Amino acid sequence: MRLQIGKWGNSLAVRLPAECVRAAGLREGDFVEAEVTPAGTIALVPSQPFDKAGFLQRIRGLRVAMPTTPPVVEAMRGDTRY
């Protein structure tokens, strides 16, 4: 598919045809990642929205695996040379 580059403010822009947008599952306001390959081709990949619930779940899992140790400040206060 051949697309024309146009001016948009001080930048250049490409309009994506509706069929491409539908096939990629994009909507107005969505974000895409642009990547230029060493061969000079440009790839647009839909960005995954930030999954706050998933992130918090992963953090909780990491906290369980961390050993409980006394805080550094308490360790320093126990020493006479702080």
Instruction: Domain of residue 25: give its range.
Output: 5-78
Percent of the chain with pLDDT over 70: 94
* Confidence label for 42 from pLDDT (cuts 50, 70 and 90): very high
* Angle, CA 34 vertex, CA 3 and CA 59 arms, to 5°: 150
CATH assignment of the domain containing 27: 2.10.260
Cα separation, 4 vs 13, whole angstroms: 9
Which has the higher per-residue pLDDT, 80 or 46? 46
Q: Is pLDDT of 82 > 60?
A: no
Segment 16-29 shows an average pLDDT of 90
pLDDT for the residue 79: 64
Give CA–CA dist 76/82, Å, rounded: 6
CA distance 16 to 80: 68
Distance from chain centroid for Cα 68: 31
Number of folded domains in the chain? 1
DSSP-based three-state secondary structure for 47: coil
- The residue-averaged pLDDT of 21-35 equals 90
